Amino acid sequence: MAGKQTRVPRKEFFRRADLLLHRLRYDRVKLLNEIPWQPYNPDYQPRRDWLTVAALLPCALLGRYVLERLILKPFFAKFSERGRKSPRLASKMAENCFYALFYICSLCAGLYVYRSENWRVSFFDGACISAFWELYPPISTVFRLYYLSELCYYISSVIFLLTHDTKRKDFTEMVVHHLATISLITLSYMWGWMRLGLVILMLHDAGDILLYTAKVVHYLGLWPSNIVLFVCFAIVFYITRLFLFPRIILSVSTEPWIEVTREPLANRIWVAYWGFYIVQLIGFALFLNILLYLHCFWFTLILKMMYREVLHPGNAKYSKGDIRSDDEAE
């Protein structure tokens, strides 16, 4: 009896899949003659957008250099006891303070853009995140500037990471993370998936604020405040990157096809050019899974750090490490 119950859904699945394939073949032949090829977001204008990026990138590089090297570093070197004793430590404080300030501004900007939009996303109602898959929604000027600014930030971060930033144990992972993020931002902008990108960026910003704030407090030697912030960061990191973020990956992997199977004729472009969109989704899911792998890697370091702090609370011997990369040398 139990065996029959398990076989029926499987047969029904293949029956529906077969009907869907036949319907898609018929509809695709018909729609190819009716729908023009439109692979990119109509709001995407390469010349205008890449000129904007080219103009913003030098501003991002110069702004970071001025804020981090000419303002924050002298500030910590003068007003922090540890910074006065160690110029290298003052540089680390300035670097992480810059990151904390940027992610605060980034999250506030992302929330402003999200609140000004006419769509909402719910991770918990059991329905599709359908707002992600509305094909080529109109993009406001504020949304576009926010998105291109984020792209410039991550490009500038790679440049600083390779040239000026402190080299940590997870240097390679950080480079891969930033390159994957740049790819996702670029592709989602070209393909009209900016809503998806906005939610992903906000999820990442929430944890990064606590991470870099905790690191600044850690370098200042403010125990146990650094541990409290670090525990808060670990909780937020788990919720946003290991609980909500996989829900987005599931959405990318499954929900576009659910939307198409519900109303094939309402998704005429998807039906007509499904081969292109399969490549899109596979590529996007690949980059998202790279990020998920890195999140799992970093979470193991977070757990290791928490375990070490429980065994040796406030012990200077065990407090020199970077709470992101575990045991960065001073």
Q: pLDDT tens, 45-76?
A: 767 888 889 999 999 999 999 999 999 999 99
| Angstrom distance (rounded) from CA 244 to CA 236 | 11
Residue at 256: amino acid letter: P
Q: Could you give the residue ranges of the DSSP H alpha helices within 192-244?
A: 194-220, 225-239
328, part of any domain: no
Q: Are 173 and 328 in contact (CB under 8 A)?
A: no
Per the model's pLDDT, the better-predicted residue between 234 and 279 turns out to be 234
Q: Are 105 and 97 in contact (CB under 8 A)?
A: no
Residue 84: C-alpha distances to residues 62, 69, 113, 254, 313 (Å): 25, 15, 41, 54, 25
Which pLDDT band holds residue 23 (cuts at 50, 70, 90)?
low
Residue 106: C-alpha distances to residues 23, 142, 266 (Å): 45, 13, 36
Q: Which residue has the tokens 């390159």?
A: 179
What pTM does this model have? Answer: 0.81
Residue 161 has pLDDT above 80, yes or no: yes
Per the model's pLDDT, the better-predicted residue between 130 and 9 turns out to be 130
Which pLDDT band holds residue 201 (cuts at 50, 70, 90)?
very high
Q: Which of 5-19, 151-165, 265-279 has the highest mean pLDDT?
A: 151-165
| Angstrom distance (rounded) from CA 260 to CA 162 | 43
Residue 321 has pLDDT above 90, yes or no: no
Give the residue numbers spanning the domain of 231.
Answer: 35-318
The phi, psi pair for 319, rounded to 5°, reads -110, 10
| Angstrom distance (rounded) from CA 87 to CA 82 | 9
Which pLDDT band holds residue 8 (cuts at 50, 70, 90)?
very low
30, part of any domain: no
303, part of any domain: yes
Token code pair at residue 23: 């319907």
What per-residue confidence (pLDDT) applies to 69? 92
The chain-wide mean pLDDT, for the chain, equals: 81
| Angstrom distance (rounded) from CA 6 to CA 320 | 56
Which pLDDT band holds residue 318 (cuts at 50, 70, 90)?
very low
Report pLDDT digits (tens) over 75-95: 999 888 888 888 889 999 999
Instruction: Using a pLDDT cut of 90, give the percent of the chain over it.
Output: 44
Token code pair at residue 95: 């670097």
Instruction: Using a pLDDT cut of 70, give the percent of the chain over it.
Output: 71
85-111 CB burial, b ≥16 within 10 A, e <16: ebeebbbbbbbbbbbbbbbeebbebbe
327, part of any domain: no
102, part of any domain: yes
Per the model's pLDDT, the better-predicted residue between 315 and 88 turns out to be 88
Q: How many domains does the chain have?
A: 1
